[in-house]
Amino acid sequence: MAEPYKFPVDLSAIMLFARSLGDIRPEYSDPDSPEAKAIGGVVTPPTFVQSSAHWQPDYPLDLTRPRKGPAPKHRGDDGGGGLGRGLHAEQHYEYHHPIHAGDALTVTTRPGERWEKQGRRGGKLLFSETITEYRNQDGVLCVTARSVGVQTERAVDQG
């Protein structure tokens, strides 16, 4: 899997993420609001950690960022994609500790479980999990994200 990387949690990024969802609650933007003060400062909205992909050095789905070498090839064996036979099937988040503006998260990714089911038109369905953990600067586990991808054994029959 990918090497661990740092993800700085910026107040502006939190505010823009929340606004893109249509959520204008002050705990996502105003550190001086009573709501933010009651929870120790501005916090991130649910699923905000997904934006850590902007900080992942070799994020395989972003072919637009500058690189020192060639863009990595997405093999599709880590939770979807690849050969036109894969897709992202599920995403789960488990929240352990609040993430605040100013935190510096360390992001680690590892393989999870793998399993198979028999499909109807593409042969076996091959499922794989990817587990991503987000820990703050104190080493506290804040979020565990579990992504499930599926690939068909062969191209889907068009009949």
In tens, the pLDDT along 21-33 reads 999 999 999 999 9
| 56 token code pair | 């992942």
CA atoms within 13 A on the CB side of 69: 5
How far apart, in whole angstroms, are the C-alpha atoms of residue 123 and residue 150? Answer: 12
Please state which of the ranges 7-11, 98-102, 124-128 shows the lowest mean pLDDT.
124-128
Contact by Cβ (8 Å): 48, 20: no
| 134 token code pair | 């987000």
pLDDT bracket for residue 67 (50, 70, 90) = low
What single-letter DSSP state applies at residue 88?
Answer: E
In tens, the pLDDT along 131-157 reads 999 999 999 999 999 999 888 877 766
- Among 102, 82, 63, 88, smallest CA distance to 145 is for 88
Max CA distance (Å), the chain: 61
pLDDT bracket for residue 76 (50, 70, 90) = very low
pTM score, whole prediction: 0.82
Decide which of 3.30.70.3270, 3.40.710.10, 3.40.47.10, 3.10.129.10 is the CATH code for 5-152.
3.10.129.10
